[in-house]
């Protein structure tokens, strides 16, 4: 008998790419998202595609029925601009994890994966651009990012206690800035790599010579390409490691350096205009990958340059199509 895998949040960037990857491996998949299927970034022709609001308990019961393993990638989230101005919406995602865990336990699911975030780490550990990589133990004493980060940290604990009290195997990944093609690139929910690709592409197509950068450009981050995210997620799901685990690149760059990379890919050099009052989040963030190497024998390795080349090409095509009034191919 084929075991059923549920992917919650399958209409989103990571969820859609996970469905695609599992589909290649011949998994039986149930893909669930609240958006209409035509708005999903990847629309599988072989999965059972359901449109349900997973904040509702009955929707979670329908979704988990018969599922052996559950990947929870569903959340109301976006880039720093969205997170900063939608704290209540971000926190309401706790209903998804609450009800999905309850339904998974009721239905007898064996394994449950929760996609957490580096936003659980305290801002007092991220106040300098030359920040040390964040270790998993650094999440406590807790001072998570307001709204989104606190929801993720609380949901991590809920996974832990469901495992302790009900025996369901839970796995928690702390993602660090996942990027790649076939995701949000405009409209306010996009993250820095996609936003910069869009701005550079738009400048090139319009013949402009300027780019707006949020903050002073000196803030630092690490960015993980989607293929590394998918591999790390599945390795963790299959593993015996039960505590939260960083899944992120440790290749830290400043936002200015990220712009340098995209400009180099596009073959353009732009004058930079810094929007100092824009949301920028913490001053510096990077992943410490010691634990993932020890536990999984693996770590993200796709270089930022390689990943950004793929991402820029796809976003350039979207921006050009829009500029020419053509439908753009936003989905796989």
Active site residues: 148
Phi then psi for 7, rounded to 5 degrees? Answer: -115, 110
Which H or E run contains 192?
Answer: helix 192-206
Phi then psi for 88, rounded to 5 degrees? Answer: -65, -45
- CA separation for the pair 96, 121 (Å, rounded): 21
Length of the chain: 332
- DSSP 3-state assignment of 70? strand
Phi/psi-derived region of residue 289, left when phi > 0, alpha when psi is between -120 and 50, beta in every other case = alpha
- CA separation for the pair 10, 14 (Å, rounded): 8
Number of alpha carbons in the 13 Å side-chain half-sphere of residue 303: 4
Is the N-terminal amide bond of 234 cis, ω within 30° of 0? no
- DSSP 3-state assignment of 213? strand
Whether residue 253 contacts residue 193, with contact meaning beta carbons closer than 8 Å, is answered with: no
- CA separation for the pair 332, 298 (Å, rounded): 28
- CA separation for the pair 247, 113 (Å, rounded): 13
Quick one: CA torsion of 52, 55, 61, 67, rounded to 10 degrees?
80
User: For the sheet containing 67-72, what is the strand order?
Assistant: 48-51, 28-33, 4-8, 67-72, 111-117, 169-175, 245-247
* Widest CA span in the chain: 60
Beta-carbon contacts of residue 56 (< 8 Å; ≥ 6 apart): 95, 99
């Amino acid at each position: 008998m084929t075991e059923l895998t549920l992917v919650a949040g399958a209409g989103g960037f990571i969820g859609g790419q996970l469905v695609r990857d599992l589909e290649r491996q011949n998994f039986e998949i149930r893909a669930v998202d609240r958006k209409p299927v035509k708005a999903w970034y990847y629309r599988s022709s072989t999965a059972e595609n359901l449109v349900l609001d997973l904040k509702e308990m009955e929707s979670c019961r329908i979704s988990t029925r018969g599922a052996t393993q559950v990947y929870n990638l569903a959340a109301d989230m976006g880039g720093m601009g969205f997170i900063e101005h939608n704290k209540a919406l971000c926190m309401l995602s706790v209903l998804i994890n609450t009800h999905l865990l309850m339904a998974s336990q009721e239905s007898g699911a064996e394994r449950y994966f929760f996609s957490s975030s580096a936003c659980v780490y305290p801002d007092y550990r991220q106040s300098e651009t030359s920040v040390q990589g964040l270790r998993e133990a650094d999440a406590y004493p807790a001072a998570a990012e307001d709204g989104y980060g606190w929801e993720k940290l609380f949901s991590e604990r809920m996974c832990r206690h469901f495992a302790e009290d009900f025996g369901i195997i839970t796995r928690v990944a702390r993602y660090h800035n996942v990027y790649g093609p076939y995701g949000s690139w405009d409209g306010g929910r996009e993250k820095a790599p996609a936003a910069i690709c869009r701005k550079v592409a738009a400048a090139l197509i319009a013949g402009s010579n300027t780019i707006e950068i949020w903050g002073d450009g000196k803030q630092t981050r690490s960015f993980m390409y989607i293929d590394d995210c998918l591999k790390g997620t599945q390795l963790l799901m299959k593993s015996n490691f039960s505590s939260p685990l960083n899944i992120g690149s440790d290749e830290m760059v400043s936002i200015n350096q990220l712009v340098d990379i995209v400009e180099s890919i596009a073959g353009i050099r732009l004058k930079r205009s810094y929007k100092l009052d824009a949301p920028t989040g913490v001053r510096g963030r990077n992943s410490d990958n010691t634990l993932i190497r020890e536990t999984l024998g693996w770590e993200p390795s796709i270089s930022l340059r390689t990943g950004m080349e793929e991402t820029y090409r796809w976003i350039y095509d979207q921006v050009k199509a829009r500029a020419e009034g053509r439908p753009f191919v936003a989905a796989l």
